[in-house]
Amino acid sequence: MDAVATPVQAPLEQLLHLADNALVLGQRNAEWCGNGPVLEEDIALANMSLDLIGQARMLYQHAATVKGDGATEDSLAYFRDAADFRNFTLLELPHASAASERDYAVTIVRNFLYSTFMLLQWEALQKSPDAQLAGIAGKSLKEVAYHFRHSRDWLIRLGDGTAESHDRTQAALNQLLPYTAEFWNGEAPTLRVHWDELVNDALNEASLSRPPLLQAALPHGKAGQHSEHLAPLLAEMQSLARAHPAALW
């Protein structure tokens, strides 16, 4: 009798990185619920947050199976501390800018930079030898394609809009672009070439200038070295589950 082939599983660290990215940005964008600049955007960001949290759930479920030892999606989301999270530093930053404590331009620029990256990464992961991860990638690609279109449209609307909207968007780009250096730590260089093309095309259409990437400390959120902003975000998200650790969520 032929031996049954063991299914290929992606590395646990990769699954947690992808899941943590989706969860943290989903939680961060959910802060616009009830605070959106217009009702339509309030609803749009809430729906995109749900997309991201849905992606996180699928990835945590897969990661729990790979990890074993009684791990569950809830234990991975609610009972790990900030140092155990592997999300990009960019995604945990608040929406704040010099102009406002909640600046929509910051949100749009971050969503654009990240969704452009994930558009390429999910497309590549559809070919993963891990069949379950490939399936998650296929579903997530459809969602992130909308996130990309939404953020790109708004980037152009704000960048090519009023003097104030242009200046705020340019400031947000100057503030956030350096954090994208972490995207390329260990990633295939071909993704970066395509990402640069998509980003530069949108910035040109938005009348925005891409700032030079000056020498600066490389963020290491993927390695568990986070800014001071992640722990408070997780504390708010995890507080109920930790107060009732025996409950099922």
Report pLDDT digits (tens) over 193-239. 999 999 999 999 999 999 987 656 678 999 999 999 999 999 999 99
Instruction: Dump pLDDT digits (tens) for 23-37.
Output: 999 999 999 988 888
Single-letter amino acid, residue 221:
G
User: Who contacts 185 (Cβ-Cβ below 8 Å, separation ≥6)?
Assistant: 218, 222
Q: Inform me whether the pLDDT recorded for 73 exceeds 80.
A: yes
The percent helix, strand, coil of the chain (3-state, each to 5) is: 70, 0, 30
pLDDT class for 249, splitting at 50, 70, 90?
low
> How much is the pLDDT for 160?
96
Single-letter amino acid, residue 122:
W
> How much is the pLDDT for 34?
86
Does the CA dihedral 151-154-156-159 come out positive or negative? negative
Alpha-carbon gap, residue 158 to 156, rounded angstroms: 5
Alpha-carbon gap, residue 99 to 41, rounded angstroms: 20
Q: Inform me whether the pLDDT recorded for 3 exceeds 60.
A: no
> How much is the pLDDT for 42?
86
- Paired residues of 225 in beta bridges: 220
Would you put residue 210 in left (φ > 0), alpha (ψ -120 to 50) or beta? Answer: beta
Would you put residue 34 in left (φ > 0), alpha (ψ -120 to 50) or beta? Answer: left
Instruction: Dump pLDDT digits (tens) for 34-63.
Output: 888 888 888 999 999 999 999 999 999 999
**Overall fold of domain 12-209+218-243:** Ferritin (1.20.1260)
Single-letter amino acid, residue 21:
N
In the DSSP assignment, the letter for residue 187 is S
Instruction: Dump pLDDT digits (tens) for 85-137.
Output: 999 999 999 999 888 889 999 999 999 999 999 999 999 999 999 999 999 99
> How much is the pLDDT for 204?
98
Boundaries of every domain in the chain: 12-209+218-243
Single-letter amino acid, residue 237:
M
Q: What are phi and psi of 225, to 5 degrees?
A: -100, 105
Crossing angle of the two packed helices 39-67 and 104-125, in degrees rounded to 10: 40
Q: Could you identify the residue written with the tokens 């947690």?
A: 16
pLDDT class for 1, splitting at 50, 70, 90?
very low
